């Protein structure tokens, strides 16, 4: 008998009356996201055993959880989030300075004031889709409700099997429809770029809803002229199925936390010999680029992504940005809500595709730059990681779900190597024929 129970997502605005939480018999707990006005500051899993919870208890819990993000926004040191690096540089590890934060008058009011930065520059939004009009309509409606309308909203219909998406977009006169008959997410994204005219090009997915301030917050992330890419916070839209909960809580979801991260040249150099963890920069469902970066480092690699390798076209592009001396920034106040795959078979396929694309990207990055850390990641770090997971599973009596996911990921790794070699051999054969 399956004992699974979903999680209830509640968004709590701390600038309003804080509610008491009652017991939720149908749920295993509450996934609470804490906001101050429109700024996300933390989330916490509150189990059914902790319920009911009074408003005072919830407020005390919230204060503990939001402190790192508040300190990060208001102070220059003491609360900065650590980058995923192995470094001897002490500047990466500053001690937490609670006294400075406590010394501020009305810190949450100051937090809202400092977040209201003026932004400039036009934005084009690109949504690539294929045969998912039911999900797309939710995404497009949220884009139509942005507080700061973009210059363009472009839907790239990628190798559709029918005209349902075209008919949907035809009902929305402020949205531009572009047909791309060649299958592949990277191909579709590159087509969207070529049809864009904004200074900044933002991407989201058809299974996403965007926060009303999404565009304005993404723009704020480009304040530093060296920043060429900005990613944002991806919150779960729902946690109603076993697959959705497994992806969010077992595999980490898409979130990179609630504090700003700047991935700079030092980060790249510190990790280059081990494999730069560019997948930690963000998610393709919530990312934006300066237009000129496509002139500087090229377009998305069409060998990667859904419809080709399976994944990692976004992280490989971030890798190129960093390798060429530019920066990427994670800006958590730019928020979207992602609806994860709802069934276990789809999740298993997703994890297979993720690892297939990840491995293919490592080999392409090595071929382009000869950075040996990519091979270290492939032939040392990943085998160690999966060996540990396998042994841990044996010791803890493997659940069928964990065994299924582990096998899918490992097979994806082998498939990624095979995909790269087949493509490489095909290119070599074409050169010989010429």
Strand partners, 338: 208, 236
pLDDT in tens, 95-148: 555 555 555 557 777 777 766 676 778 999 999 999 999 999 999 999 999 999
Range in 94-98, 238-242, 371-375 the model is least confident about: 94-98
Arithmetic mean of pLDDT, 366-375: 97
pLDDT in tens, 319-338: 999 999 999 999 999 999 99
- Which residue, 235, 208, 232, 333, is CA-closest to 31? 235
- Which residue, 343, 230, 221, 357, is CA-closest to 286? 230
pLDDT in tens, 178-199: 999 999 999 999 999 999 999 9
User: What tokens appear for 408 in the block?
Assistant: 């899918």
Predicted pLDDT of residue 93: 47
Residue with tokens 């209830």: 8
Strand partners, 106: none
In order of 366, 423, 427, 434, the CA distances from 430 in angstroms are 22, 11, 5, 6
What SS3 class is residue 178? strand
pLDDT in tens, 52-71: 999 999 999 998 999 889 88
Return d(Cα 97, Cα 217) in angstroms, integer. 27
Query: To which CATH superfamily is domain 120-346 assigned?
Result: Spore Coat Polysaccharide Biosynthesis Protein SpsA; Chain A (3.90.550.10)
Predicted pLDDT of residue 270: 93
Q: How confident is the model at residue 369 (pLDDT cuts 50, 70, 90)?
A: very high
Residues 6+ apart with CB under 8 A from 36: 13, 14, 15, 66, 108, 111, 112
Arithmetic mean of pLDDT, 7-16: 95
Domain boundaries, the chain: 7-114, 120-346, 347-433
Q: How confident is the model at residue 87 (pLDDT cuts 50, 70, 90)?
A: low
Arithmetic mean of pLDDT, 220-227: 95
Arithmetic mean of pLDDT, 275-295: 97
pTM: 0.94
pLDDT of 347 over the 50 cut: yes
Return d(Cα 349, Cα 405) in angstroms, integer. 9
Predicted pLDDT of residue 282: 96
Say if residues 411 and 352 touch (Cβ distance below 8 Å).
yes
Q: How confident is the model at residue 367 (pLDDT cuts 50, 70, 90)?
A: very high
Return d(Cα 307, Cα 182) in angstroms, integer. 10
Predicted pLDDT of residue 331: 96
What SS3 class is residue 137? helix
Range in 65-74, 287-296, 369-378 the model is least confident about: 65-74
Predicted pLDDT of residue 289: 98
Q: How confident is the model at residue 90 (pLDDT cuts 50, 70, 90)?
A: very low
pLDDT of 421 over the 50 cut: yes
Predicted pLDDT of residue 431: 62
Range in 33-42, 68-77, 89-98 the model is least confident about: 89-98
Tell me what the pLDDT averaged over the chain comes to.
Answer: 91
pLDDT of 306 over the 70 cut: yes
Arithmetic mean of pLDDT, 284-306: 97
Return d(Cα 46, Cα 58) in angstroms, integer. 10
């Amino acid at each position: 008998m399956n004992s699974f129970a979903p999680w209830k997502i509640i968004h709590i605005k701390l600038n309003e009356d804080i509610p008491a939480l009652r017991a939720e018999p149908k749920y295993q707990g509450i996934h609470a996201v804490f906001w101050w006005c429109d700024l996300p500051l933390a989330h916490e899993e509150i189990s059914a055993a902790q319920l009911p919870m009074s408003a005072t208890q919830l407020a005390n819990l919230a204060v503990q959880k939001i402190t790192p993000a508040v300190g990060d926004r208001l102070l220059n040191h003491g609360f900065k989030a650590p980058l995923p690096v192995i470094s001897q540089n002490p500047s990466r590890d500053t001690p937490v300075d609670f006294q400075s934060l406590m010394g501020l008058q009305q810190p949450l009011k100051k937090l809202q004031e400092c977040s209201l930065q003026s932004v400039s520059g036009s934005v084009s939004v690109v949504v690539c889709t294929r045969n998912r009009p039911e999900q797309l309509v939710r995404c497009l409606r949220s884009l139509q409700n942005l507080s700061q309308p973009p210059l363009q909203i472009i839907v790239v219909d990628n190798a559709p099997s029918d005209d349902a998406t075209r008919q949907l977009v035809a009902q929305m006169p402020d949205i531009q429809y572009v047909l791309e008959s060649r299958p592949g997410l990277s191909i579709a994204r590159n087509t969207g770029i070529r049809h864009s005219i904004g200074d900044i090009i933002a991407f989201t997915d058809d299974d996403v809803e965007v926060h009303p301030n999404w565009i304005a917050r993404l723009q704020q992330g480009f304040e530093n002229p060296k920043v060429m890419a900005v990613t944002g916070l991806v919150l779960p839209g729902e946690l109603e199925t076993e697959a959705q909960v497994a992806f969010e809580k077992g595999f980490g979801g898409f979130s990179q936390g609630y504090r700003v991260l700047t991935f700079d040249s030092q980060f790249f150099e510190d990790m280059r010999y081990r494999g730069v963890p560019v997948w930690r920069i963000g998610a393709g469902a919530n990312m934006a680029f300066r237009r000129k970066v496509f002139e500087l480092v090229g377009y998305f690699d069409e060998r990667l992504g859904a419809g080709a390798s399976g994944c990692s076209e976004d992280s490989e592009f971030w890798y190129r940005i960093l390798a060429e001396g530019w920066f990427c920034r994670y800006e958590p106040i730019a928020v979207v809500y992602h609806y994860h795959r709802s069934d276990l078979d789809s999740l298993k396929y997703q994890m297979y595709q993720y690892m297939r694309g990840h491995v293919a990207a490592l080999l392409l990055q090595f071929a382009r730059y000869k950075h040996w850390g990519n091979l270290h990641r492939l032939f040392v770090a990943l085998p160690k990681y999966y060996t540990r997971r396998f042994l841990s599973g044996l010791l803890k009596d493997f659940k069928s779900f964990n065994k299924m996911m582990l096998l899918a990921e490992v097979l994806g790794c082998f498939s990624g190597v095979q995909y790269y070699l087949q493509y490489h051999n095909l290119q070599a054969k074409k050169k010989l024929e010429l």
